Amino acid sequence: MLPQSFFDQFASLGPELAWLGIAVVLDVLTGIAAAFKAGTFDAEKLPKFLADYGLLIFGWLAVEVIVRVIPLAETGIGAVIREDTGALAYAFIMLSAVSSIMKNVGELGLLGGLNKPLSRVGLGYQPKPKE
């Protein structure tokens, strides 16, 4: 059994996990709504979508374990993984989720006049050209 101090090292990840959970739920809900609106909803795509998120979250948590448990400087891993690598992985996942949510909200037509300025920074909805 692992000592309590091991688990205490990860107590600070609670808020990040909560925000990540909220982002995933929002992405799923807005994605389903946008797919229904477009008439392209396919329930068989949902497990793969969630599995992709699961892999990203697992990777982030694995990096957090490496950074918090293994003495980086003593093992030489510090040359590859720095202490802020976990934060960068988390930021990547959150930015990806926000971008996906904004795309879904744009497909739902809820961005209104915000779409053009948001598109300049890569967060707006760019409709696919009609074929």
pLDDT, residue 78, reads: 59
State the Cα–Cα distance between residues 51 and 121, nearest whole angstrom: 28
Predicted TM-score of the model (pTM): 0.75
pLDDT, residue 5, reads: 66
Helix 14-38 with 85-107: angle, nearest 10 deg: 30
Give the number of other Cβ atoms within 10 Å of residue 65's Cβ: 14
Query: What mean pLDDT comes out for the span 64-74?
Result: 73
pLDDT digits over 4-31, tens only? Answer: 566 676 777 888 889 999 999 999 999 9
Please count the residues of the chain: 131
Structure tokens belonging to residue 25:
């739920």
Maximal C-alpha separation, the chain: 60
State the Cα–Cα distance between residues 33 and 92, nearest whole angstrom: 24
**Residues whose CB is less than 8 angstroms from the CB of residue 96 and which lie 6 or more positions away in sequence, other chains included:** 56
Query: What mean pLDDT comes out for the span 104-119?
Result: 76
Q: What is the pLDDT confidence band of residue 91, given thresholds at 50, 70 and 90?
A: very high
